[in-house]
């Protein structure tokens, strides 16, 4: 009897301990779930690569409900694979957004109208894509009721600025998580080795193949190459690096002529005069120009530029179709735009390009400049023929129904509409201030002129004249 009693006491003790442990474990899981829920939702700009996959898991460990957002702006990625990877890693939702057409119509074409060019060379391929991507990210955050957005941009580059200025411009109360500026994250991940070790430990699919010796950013407008082996500006890139333009050995020996039609400064049609292939859909038009430019090796540049954060950076860019478009747009303006309007717009172009580069697409000053540029494009209509050959493009013919060019007035064989004798009065009027300036110099003490720091131009000419005398 004693043994039986002891058995039942022991059994109930075991059952009680087991239930207590299960209850304690349940409370622990419940508390952990509450902790995760308490941090809120975050929409992560996700690519499917190593960095953003690690960031996804790290955010979950910090207690966030992670919604992944994949932006398709024309990069050569496997979006279905990236979506499946995000879901497998525990993302509560995944958005794959096709932004290609709005990227062309809302960002690339306005840049064409403005002739945007940063520091005289860079066509702003990455800079234009970032506000397009960030705009949709805050739209998804609003739809999901997310309090946070996150990105994987580094703490040294321009992209962190471009993303976050757009976030705050469009959603002032949004909160931004930037892991590559977070001390906790940086302590845990001090390099690629730490990322790879974390990925192995957390079941994140590892990158396959050799890592390129440089970083790349691609969209339908361009591809950029920087860092790694390109950080030494004395070293030329390998020809095999280029992906959006053919190897120079494969550039055709026969030129190709493309006709581009504009309406109010916007491209509305493109036609190959050789193949007769034509497109009027904005996206298809742009992609067609990309194919033509790729074949002929058009759109490469290799530059050292000034980042907004104060660092000089070496970048190699391929911007094929945009290079042809800018060539044609400049030319149609030459025949259809008023001289003084062009001068004013040309004063705005460098500032607008700087704003875009620095991340201020959505800003009062950009709104003002875009409105002025749009006004300048009224009746910039017509077509331009561009010849493409061996890495170059050149406008060779143009016509416009709103042309300000008069063949009769411009001709040396005709005086219709222009009396050459009028030029004499025009010259005399413009010479009034030049004559006055000379008289002032003539009456100035010569020792004063000789001491002047400016020894060129009219000062020098006067002193030289007197030496000859």
Catalytic residues: 51, 130, 159, 215
**Residue 14 buriedness (CB in 10 A; 0-12 / 13-18 / 19+):** exposed
Paired strand residues for 97: 71
CA distances for 298 relative to 237, 251, 378, angstroms: 16, 10, 29
3-class state of residue 220 by DSSP: coil
Pairing outcome for strands 266-272 and 278-279: antiparallel
Pair of tokens at residue 452: 């002047």
- Scored b (16 or more CB within 10 A) or e, 339-377 reads eebeeebeebeeebbbbbbbbbbbeeebeebbeebeebb
Torsion sign across C-alpha atoms 429, 430, 431, 432 = positive
In angstroms, rounded to a whole number, what is the distance separating the alpha carbons of residues 139 and 208? 33
Q: Which of 284, 332, 313 is nearest to 115 (CA)?
A: 332
Q: Which of 414, 329, 311 is nearest to 376 (CA)?
A: 329
């Amino acid at each position: 009897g004693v043994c039986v009693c002891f058995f039942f006491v022991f059994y109930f003790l075991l059952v009680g301990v087991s239930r207590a442990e299960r209850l304690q474990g349940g409370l622990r899981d419940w508390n952990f779930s509450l902790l995760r829920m308490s941090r809120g939702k975050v929409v992560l700009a996700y690519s499917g690569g190593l960095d953003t996959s690690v960031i996804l898991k790290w955010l979950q460990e910090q207690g966030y409900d992670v919604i992944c957002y994949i932006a398709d702006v024309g990069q050569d990625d496997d979006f279905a694979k990236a979506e499946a990877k995000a879901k497998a890693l525990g993302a509560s939702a995944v958005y794959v957004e096709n932004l290609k057409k709005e990227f062309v119509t809302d960002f690339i074409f306005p840049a064409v109208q403005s002739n945007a060019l940063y520091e005289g060379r860079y066509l702003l391929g990455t800079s234009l894509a970032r506000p397009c991507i960030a705009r949709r990210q805050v739209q998804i955050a609003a739809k999901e009721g997310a309090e946070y957005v996150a990105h994987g941009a580094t703490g040294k580059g321009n992209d962190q600025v471009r993303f976050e200025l757009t976030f705050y411009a469009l959603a002032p109360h949004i909160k931004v998580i930037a892991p590559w500026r977070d001390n906790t994250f940086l302590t845990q991940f001090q390099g690629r080795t730490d990322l790879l070790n974390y990925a192995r430990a957390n079941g994140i699919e590892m990158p396959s193949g050799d890592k390129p010796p440089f970083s790349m950013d691609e969209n339908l407008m361009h591809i950029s190459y920087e860092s790694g082996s390109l950080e030494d500006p004395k070293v030329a890139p390998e020809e095999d690096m280029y992906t959006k333009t053919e190897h120079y050995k494969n550039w055709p020996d026969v030129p190709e002529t493309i006709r581009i039609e504009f309406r109010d400064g916007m491209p509305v049609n493109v036609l190959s005069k050789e193949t007769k292939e034509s497109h009027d859909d904005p996206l298809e038009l742009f992609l067609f120009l990309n194919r033509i430019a790729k074949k002929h090796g058009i759109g490469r540049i290799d530059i050292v530029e000034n980042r907004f954060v104060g660092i000089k950076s070496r970048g190699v860019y391929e911007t094929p179709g945009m290079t042809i478009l800018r060539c044609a747009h400049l030319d149609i303006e030459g025949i259809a735009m008023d001289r003084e309007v062009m001068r004013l717009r040309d004063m705005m172009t460098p500032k607008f390009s700087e704003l875009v580069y620095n991340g201020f697409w959505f800003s009062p000053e950009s709104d003002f400049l875009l409105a002025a540029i749009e006004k300048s494009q009224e009746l910039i209509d017509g077509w331009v023929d561009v010849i493409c050959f061996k890495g170059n493009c050149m406008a060779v013919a143009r016509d416009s129904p709103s042309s300000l060019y008069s063949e009769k007035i411009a001709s040396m064989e005709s005086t219709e509409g222009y009396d050459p004798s009028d030029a004499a009065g025009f010259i005399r009027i413009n010479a009034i201030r030049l004559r006055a300036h000379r008289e002032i110099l003539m009456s100035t003490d010569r020792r004063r002129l000789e001491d002047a720091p400016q020894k060129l131009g009219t000062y020098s000419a006067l002193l030289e004249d007197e030496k000859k005398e």
